[in-house]
Amino acid sequence: MRIAGADVIVTSPGRNFVTLEITTDDGLTGYGDATLNGRELAVASYLSDHVGPLLIGRDAHRIEDTWQYLHRGAYWRRGPVTMAAIAAVDVALWDLKAQVAGLPLYQLLGGASRTGIRAYGHASGRDLPELLDSIRARQEQGFRSIRVQSGVPGLETIYGISAAPDPAGGPGRENGRHPQPSEETWDTQAYLRHLPTVFEAVRNEFGPELPLLHDVHHRLTPIQAAKLGKALEPYDLFWLEDCTPAENQDGLRLVRQHTTTPLAIGEVFNSVVDYQTLIREQLIDYVRSAVTHAGGITAMRKLFDLAAQYQIKSGIHGPADISPVGMAAGLHLDLAIHNFGIQEFMPHSAETYEVFRHSYTFRDGYLHPGETPGLGVTVDRAAAARFEYRPAYLPVNRLRDGTVHDW
Ligand code: KDG
Ligand code: MG
């Protein structure tokens, strides 16, 4: 089975997605997600200008060799653009191999280790009543584990919270289109004072059993993160995510020394190298990378195998800027690996599902990739062509004095 074509599809059904479509000389088609939110066209160019031409004529079955060829062979390694491009090739080749085998992809990864994939959904509110309603709405949708993001008094907007209620029930600004990045104001002390009161109220309302998660989005220093983790201990979080920018891996030692709140890190990481200290020293509990951003199934499987040696589990990144192709790839891994933890799930819009036809399902808090041979996602190119790319950016975050802060 030789690679005959490698097409890049850029489409924007509600938000921008980049997809690699690999075709073979025997008429099969495989897909990989290459979406890098806000930098989409850089990956599209990397694929169509540099990687696609190298793939033509290669044996589509040689997944590991192709991965190494693109990673080591290019001389320039790692980085979000490179690793998203390699991930797209890798996932498309796994899709093809599983189609040839006539099996859903998870069967090639060792088969199912569980019957369903526990998923968490997003709840958010500008104030407490709105947040409690949002949690109830997620529960009604079937979610049994919930990420809680709350507005902070005195701050107009904050990560994960819409400025106005989102009629689609989504997270608002994360889905929003900003041709120029909008700017938000951040106040660390106000956040640190307010957040424990939010979790106290949520626990009082929903009781001790509902698994609750929270995403700090890299906004704290290690000592501030240590303080927050400690303050949240009475509310028994499932995890505290990205409590500090973890490029400074050593900083996590300090956080760890002060709190037993479980820590999840890694959605901006794209290589196992980024995790070396964090995993070896057991400084985190969950690995957050996305298949789409960290080199595909081939690389993620090795990352999870390393994590398993240290009792660290998976928590694959699954926001709406991962396309259904990337989501499906994560689900096949989730089902197969032993050290699965939880999967983030933001259902996509109806427009997105018009373009990406998928076989995965969500029922009673659990996802399943389905039994369709391959990845179980196809792209309707006619539908994709109707949604033209429009530049869109995440907001930029500034402290009250105007200093740019982590987003
Ligand atoms: O592109 C950035 C988003 O993927 C990110 O803001 C979502 O933090 C996120 C999460 O945990 O889903
Ligand atoms: Mg996050």
Tens-place pLDDT, residues 191-248: 999 999 999 999 999 999 999 999 999 999 999 999 999 999 999 999 999 999 988 8
Claim to verify: residue 79 and residue 116 sit in the same structural domain: no
Claim to verify: residue 12 and residue 141 sit in the same structural domain: no
Q: Is the pLDDT of residue 166 over 60?
A: no
Claim to verify: residue 262 and residue 362 sit in the same structural domain: yes
Nearest to 15 by CA among 291, 348, 376, 380: 348
Residue 402 lies in a domain: no
Asked if residue 296 lies in contact with residue 94, where contact means CB atoms within 8 angstroms, the answer is: yes
Ligand 1 pocket test target in 39, 147, 161, 174 with most atoms within 8 Å of CB: 174
Name which residue sits closest to atom 2 of ligand 1, judged by CA.
37
Query: Which residues have a Cβ under 8 Å from the Cβ of 378 and sit 6 or more positions away?
Result: 29, 31, 356, 357
Q: Which tokens hold the place of 199? A: 């979790």
CB of 321 shorter than 6 A to ligand 1: yes
Give the largest Cα separation in the chain, rounded.
Answer: 61
Tens-place pLDDT, residues 98-110: 999 999 999 999 9
Atom nearest to 344 CA in ligand 1: 12
Q: What is the pLDDT of residue 159?
A: 84
Mean pLDDT, the chain, whole residue set: 95
Nearest to 395 by CA among 403, 381, 378, 407: 407
Claim to verify: residue 243 and residue 353 sit in the same structural domain: yes
Claim to verify: residue 56 and residue 155 sit in the same structural domain: no
- N-terminal to C-terminal alpha carbon distance within the chain: 44
Claim to verify: residue 243 and residue 285 sit in the same structural domain: yes
Tens-place pLDDT, residues 245-293: 988 899 999 999 999 999 999 999 999 999 999 999 999 999 999 999 9
CATH number for the domain harbouring residue 234: 3.20.20.120
Query: What Å distances lie between residue 396 and 152, 163, 167, 281, 389, CA to CA?
Result: 17, 15, 24, 33, 21
In the listed set 107, 134, 160, which residue is the last one of a domain according to the structure? Answer: 107
Separation of alpha carbons 340 and 332, rounded Å = 11
- How large is the average pLDDT for residues 126-153? 97
CATH number for the domain harbouring residue 102: 3.30.390.10
Q: What is the pLDDT of residue 158?
A: 82
Claim to verify: residue 182 and residue 322 sit in the same structural domain: yes
Claim to verify: residue 143 and residue 261 sit in the same structural domain: yes
- How large is the average pLDDT for residues 136-160? 95
Ligand 1 pocket test target in 215, 263, 267 with most atoms within 8 Å of CB: 267
Claim to verify: residue 223 and residue 343 sit in the same structural domain: yes
Q: Is the pLDDT of residue 167 over 70?
A: no
Domain total of the chain: 2
- Please return the burial class of 129, using the count of CB atoms within 10 Å of its CB with bins 0-12, 13-18 and 19+: exposed
Claim to verify: residue 114 and residue 207 sit in the same structural domain: yes
Q: What is the pTM of this model?
A: 0.95
Claim to verify: residue 276 and residue 301 sit in the same structural domain: yes
Residue 388 lies in a domain: no
Residue 400 lies in a domain: no
- Strands 146-150 and 361-363: what pairing? unpaired
> What domain range includes position 149?
110-374
Claim to verify: residue 93 and residue 198 sit in the same structural domain: no
Residue 389 lies in a domain: no
Residue 387 lies in a domain: no
- How large is the average pLDDT for residues 170-177? 46
Q: What is the pLDDT of residue 161?
A: 80
Residue 385 lies in a domain: no
Binning the chain into helix, strand and coil, the percentages to the nearest 5 are 40, 20, 40
CA-based torsion, 201, 252, 297, 294: positive or negative: positive
Residue 80 lies in a domain: yes
Q: Which tokens hold the place of 188? A: 């660390």
The residues annotated as belonging to the active site are 159, 217
